[in-house]
Amino acid sequence: MTRLTTCPDSETVATRAAAHVERQLERAVSERGTAHFALSGGTTPARTYELLAAGMSSGTGVEFWFADERCVPPEDEESNYRLAAQTLFKPAAIPAAQVHRMQGELGPDEGARRYATELRERVQRGGQDQPTPPVLDLILLGIGPDGHVASLFPGAPALNAGGDAVCLPVHDSPKPPPQRITLSLAVLRAARGCLVLATGASKADAVNAMLGEPSPHVPASLLRRERLTVIVDDAAAPEAPRP
């Protein structure tokens, strides 16, 4: 069952999100010794990362990954890595060895290939009897007004990649910049938990569609519902179920 929390404002969303992340990471470290945590870019998660940094001391046991990245240099203001470095890694003094950057500067194809290799090498896969993707403990996602998550956009061929797909190139993102690297839907669905954050009225329809009938036209609706936590403000809250 999806857990939905509605908050009065974006600051409360960030506070609740940071608390959820801390709980999930602590649980993963205590159960398995390591927590594999993937971050998204965009604007929504920045405050959550700042609050996480305030409470996190060096992130012991936490391996930081990315849900997607733009194909720009890491110092570019469009870089998701740059956002996370400024709001989380630097303030929390996270050791570089614990941060696994998607190398967007290599371009979508080579960048995706290398990241898939690193994920397969560093993160335990699911059941051994079938080709399953690496199992991350928590993936923090924003959502676009069109219902995209990471860089998985409505109707994109990437949504049909096989179950053993790990990381995919994107050459035609409708959200600039066009060239990106993204985790596959299989990796998002294999994760122990996904946390979707949404604030503002522009996201209300997407949140509603995410919780409705699963459809490739709304990639967020294809996330595993029973492993999904959604934290929104009032403006982005889904319509109350009709009586």
- Contact footprint for ligand 6PG (CB under 6 A): 40-44, 67-68, 70, 80, 142-144, 148-151, 175
Residues contacting residue 122 through CB under 8 Å, at least 6 positions apart: 36, 63, 100, 134
The full DSSP string for 54-109 is HH-STTTTEEEEESEEESS-TTSTT-HHHHHIIIIITTTT--GGGB----GGG-HH
Strands 35-39 and 138-141: parallel
Q: Which residue's CB is nearer to ligand 6PG, number 145 or number 214? A: 145
User: Where do we find the tokens 């990437």?
Assistant: 158
Residue 28 or 140: the one with the smaller Cβ distance to ligand 6PG is 140
Residue with tokens 């459809």: 215
- State in angstroms the smallest separation of the CB of 46 from ligand 6PG: 8
Which stretches of the chain are assigned E, i.e. beta strand?
Answer: 3-7, 35-39, 62-66, 68-70, 138-141, 167-170, 180-183, 194-198, 228-233
| Least distance between ligand 6PG and beta carbon 83 (Å) | 9
Which is nearer to ligand 6PG, 34 or 140 (by Cβ)?
Answer: 140
Q: CA-CA distance, 199 to 110, in Å (whole number)?
A: 34
Are residues 212 and 159 in contact, defined by beta-carbon separation less than 8 angstroms? no
Query: Closer to ligand 6PG at the Cβ: 148 or 192?
Result: 148
Tell me the closest approach of the beta carbon of residue 32 to ligand 6PG, in angstroms. Answer: 26
* Distance of closest approach, residue 200 Cβ to ligand 6PG, in angstroms: 8
Min dist. Cβ of residue 67 to ligand 6PG (A) = 6
Place of tokens 């934290």: 231
Closer of 132 and 146 to ligand 6PG (Cβ): 146
- Which residue's CB is nearer to ligand 6PG, number 150 or number 161? 150
Before 134, cis peptide (omega within 30)?
Answer: no
What is the closest distance, in whole angstroms, from the C-beta atom of residue 69 to ligand 6PG in the complex? 7
